[in-house]
A and B are shown apart, each in its own frame.
Chain A
Amino acid sequence: MIKKNPLSFQLNVDDFLPATEEERLSLAQLRPSVSFFKDAMRRLRKNKVAMISLIVIIVIILLAFVVPSFYPYSYEQQIKGALYLKPMTYSLDEQARIAAGEKIFPHILGTDNLGRDYAIRVMIGSRVSLLVGIIASAIILLIGSIYGSVSGFFGGRTDLIMMRIVDIIYTVPDILLIILLSMSLQDPLDALSARPGWGWVETIGVNLISIFIVFALLYWVGMARIVRGQVLTLKQSEYVTAARALGASNKRIIKKHLLTNCIGTLIVTTTLQIPSSIFTESFLSFLGLGVAVPMPSLGSLASDGLNGLSSYPHLLLAPALLIGLIILSFNLFGDGLRDAFDPKMKS
Chain B
Amino acid sequence: MAKYIIKRVLLAVLTIFLVATITFFLMHLVPGGPFVAEKSISAQAQAALNAKFGMDKPIMVQYKNYMLGILHGDFSLSLKQRGWAVADIISSRFPVSARIGGLAVLLALVIGIPMGSIAALNRGKWADNLIIVIATCGIAFPSFVVCTVGMYLFGVNLGWLPTFGLTSAAHYILPVFALSFYPMSYITRLMRSSMLDVIGQDYMRTAKAKGLSSTVCLFKHALRNAILPVVTYVGPMMAYTITGSFIVEKIFVIPGLGGQFVSSITNRDYTVIMGTTIFLATLIIMMNVLVDIVYKIIDPRIQLQ
On A, residues with C-beta under 8 Å from B are 164, 167-168, 171-173, 175-177, 179-181, 183-188, 191, 275, 279, 282-283, 286-289, 299, 302-303, 305-306, 309-310, 313, 316-317, 320-321, 323-324, 327-328, 331-332, 347
Contacts and interface: CB of A to CB of B under 8 A. Distances in A.
A171 to B, nearest CB: 5
Contact of A172 (B19, B29, B142, B268): B19
Contact of A187 (B30, B136, B137): B30
Interface residues of B, number: 48
A183 B265 contact: yes
A313 B141 contact: no
Contacts of A324: 137, 140-142, 145
Given A180-B277, A309-B151, A328 B284 contact: no
B144 A286 contact: yes
B170 interface: no
Chain B contact surface mostly: helix
A191 B284 CA distance: 34
Q: Name which of B151, B193, B268 has the most chain A CB atoms within 10 A of its CB.
A: B151
A320 B11 contact: no
Contacts of B142: 279, 282-283, 286, 323-324, 327
Interface stretch (B20-28, B44-52, B73-81): B20-28
A287 B26 contact: no
Contacts of B152: 309, 313, 316-317
A291 to B, nearest CB: 16
Interface string B136-179: 11011111110011011000110000000000000000000000
Contacts of A289: 265
Contact of A316 (B140, B148, B280, B288): B148
A212 B31 CA distance: 22
B273 interface: yes
Interface in B244-276: 246-247, 250-251, 261-262, 265-266, 268, 273
B107 interface: no
B59 interface: no
6 contacts: A179-B273, A184-B30, A288-B265, A303-B144, A328-B140, A331-B136
B18 interface: yes
A320 B281 contact: no
Contact of A320 (B18, B23, B148, B288): B148
B251 A306 contact: yes
Contact of B273 (A180, A320, A328, A332): A180
Interface string B113-151: 000000000000000000000001101111111001101
A93 B51 CA distance: 60
B62 interface: no
A313 B27 CA distance: 38
Contacts of A168: 11, 14-15, 18
B246 A177 contact: no
A180 B273 CA distance: 8
Given A168-B11, A176-B243, A191-B31, A306 B148 contact: yes
A171 B30 contact: no
The 5 A-B pairs of least Cβ separation, nearest first, read A328-B140, A175-B243, A324-B141, A184-B26, A320-B145
Nearest to B240: A175
B284 to A, nearest CB: 5
Contacts of B273: 179-180, 183
B148 A171 contact: no
